[in-house]
Structure 1
Amino acid sequence: MKKIFFVIGLLGFSPIFAQDTEINITPDNSWFKAGVIAGVPVGDAKDVASFNLGLDLRAQYLFNPNFGIGVASGYTNFFGKDPVDDFGVIPLAGFARYYFAPEGLFLGADLGYGFLTNLDNNSGGLYVNPQIGYHNRDWNLYAFYQNTYAENDFDLQTLGLGATYNIRFN
């Protein structure tokens, strides 16, 4: 698994280091995103949880007006069905987004590791989170499919909606 992350990292970030341009962080190209998500568990997760709510935290840098990269984290709480207790996932991921216009449709995806909480014999696994949504200067509204390919053949999947607010640097 470590080799897979290393290869993905080299392939994904090698164009960044190959550039000769200087990166200047400004309020126009970099900001934090903070918001909430809500979803319905599917797959293995629907048998043990009824719904989920969470916090979405991101830091983003725009290379140009259409393409951004960053880091994503947060917490998603899955409300367990009897007799299962609530459990959660804490993602640590990189993300990329493509914005078709300054306001309107975007496509994005997170890729990283999802740390599971309050589950016995399962610490986490590969985390993926593709998204499609609408954005403007201040808000992002999106639909997502989140999957953590966890240990012991347990896939923690959910379909949901999210909203984040852009917090600009001053």
Structure 2
Amino acid sequence: MSTAPGPRDRGSERDRDEEGRARNQRPRDGLGRPLPYGTDGVARQPEGVVRTPEESVAEAQALLDAGRPFHAHEVFEDAWKTGPAAERGLWKGLAQLAVGLTHSARGNAKGGARLLLRGATAVAEWSATSGLPRPYGIVVAELAAWAKELSAHVAENAENPAPIDAAFHAPRLRGSTPE
């Protein structure tokens, strides 16, 4: 076990970034869980990155494929916070789907199932309201169906929750066949 100091051991209340904003600098594992200070973790996604929607989808898909849905959620969160207001519902719903997969992979069946359904509802409602069934190539109907199916699978095992393999269960944002 590492004896590296944490923020309270260094005399500060919280980790802070260069601008003084509170930021937890603890290393994280591949599913975003904090590890003890001084432990080697997985590289964090930079926050506040402005990407094109196409870049956001491609980067998030690569992270999902690698079994890192927590990190994909951070990419979607950046898109929701920096993109046009009219698209926030889409990106927020996608972030909820990624967090639902994260919780399911951590073994939190109840939370994972709920977030998967919440995200499925959000992206489907956004798509219906916007009239865009395939924004940026995202196959919203397939994605919502994936989330509902995975939610049911996770919920079935809620009495004896077991983590699922995030990479194996990762959705295909642009569909099951390449464009």
Report which structure shows greater RCO (CA 8 Å, sep ≥6).
1
TM range (shorter): under 0.3
- TM-score w.r.t. length of structure 2: 0.24
Looking at secondary structure, tell me which structure has more strand per residue.
Answer: 1
TM-score by length of 1: 0.25
Higher share of residues assigned helix: 2
